Amino acid sequence: MSAQPADGSSRERILAAATRLFAERGYDATSTRAIGEAVGLNIATVAYHVGGKPELYRAVMRRAHLTQRDVVVEALERLGACGSSPEETRAALLGFVDTYLTFCLNHPEVPALWMRRWLSEGVDLAEIEAEIAGPLIARVASVARGVLDRAGLGAGVDVEMLVFTIVFTTHSFGQAGVIDATGQRVGPRDLAILERFRRHLHGVVNGVV
């Protein structure tokens, strides 16, 4: 493996490999050497492009966050612009939930990274929640609270907990699916199960608001 800095695509290749390995194995079980080997580079070259393991992990999480944030912010703009009637508001909230579910299914590495953190992976890097997760969750809850108030809905709803409920269940379903009556694990590629889960999420939102 070359010890010299590689071409301009090396950083992206390193980040892509690190994203996959951190999502699959977690922060603690993934070494910089393993990431380098995945892209045919040595540790020195990896460090040249992204720094040490903590810096690499931060870069991975920020990269995943930006991908997620772009989708969420666009969906929030549509939600905030919805009509003020209860029917229009509920439909817009369900549209937001559907957008987030689709994102999680199309980018399974992002929920996987966050679920690893829920298990205290990379616990020493607690600033990630403060810099990344907290502000976006607060923004979602604020917009949702605003459209509910405008429509005269959900006066007693803990919107932040509703957001967490959607996030936790969507991430878990996308990663693990469900267990059927025979004990077999059935994931979101089963369209019937996916539709059942989507209807369930819709029921949760409609039942609360």
**pLDDT tens across 27-52, in order?**
999 999 999 999 999 999 999 999 99
| C-alpha–C-alpha distance, residues 47 and 63, integer Å | 18
CB atoms within 10 A of CB 28: 13
Give the model's pLDDT for residue 110: 96
* CATH number of 61-208, picked from 1.10.3470, 3.40.50, 1.10.357, 3.40.120: 1.10.357
Give the model's pLDDT for residue 177: 95
Per-residue model confidence as pLDDT tens digits over 157-183? 999 999 999 999 999 999 999 999 999
Q: Measured at the alpha carbon of residue 159, what is the angle toward residues 154 and 165, in degrees to the nearest 5?
A: 120
pLDDT at 77 over 90: yes
Per-residue model confidence as pLDDT tens digits over 127-164? 888 888 899 999 999 999 999 999 999 999 999 999 99
Question: How many CA atoms lie within 13 Å of 133's alpha carbon, on the beta-carbon side?
Answer: 19
- Residue pair 30/17 in contact (Cβ under 8 Å)? The answer is no
Give the model's pLDDT for residue 122: 77
Give the model's pLDDT for residue 8: 58
**Which sign, positive or negative, has the C-alpha torsion 36, 70, 190, 167?**
positive
Per CATH, the architecture of 1-51 is what?
Answer: Orthogonal Bundle (1.10)
Alpha helices in the chain (DSSP H): 10-25, 32-39, 43-50, 53-80, 86-106, 109-118, 127-128, 134-151, 159-176, 191-208
| C-alpha–C-alpha distance, residues 90 and 92, integer Å | 5
Tokens of 21: 């390995």
Residue 188 DSSP class: T
Per-residue model confidence as pLDDT tens digits over 82-132? 999 999 999 999 999 999 999 999 999 999 999 998 887 777 887 888 888
- Residue pair 104/110 in contact (Cβ under 8 Å)? The answer is yes
Tokens of 187: 């994931």
Mean pLDDT, residues 192-204 taken together: 96
pLDDT at 5 over 70: no
pLDDT at 4 over 60: no
**Which sign, positive or negative, has the C-alpha torsion 11, 14, 19, 22?**
negative
- Residue pair 54/72 in contact (Cβ under 8 Å)? The answer is no
Tokens of 159: 């919107």
CATH 1.10.357: which residues of the chain? 61-208
In the block, tokens 């509703």 appear at 162
Cα-Cα-Cα-Cα torsion 19, 176, 103, 113, nearest 10 degrees, comes to: -30
| C-alpha–C-alpha distance, residues 136 and 113, integer Å | 16
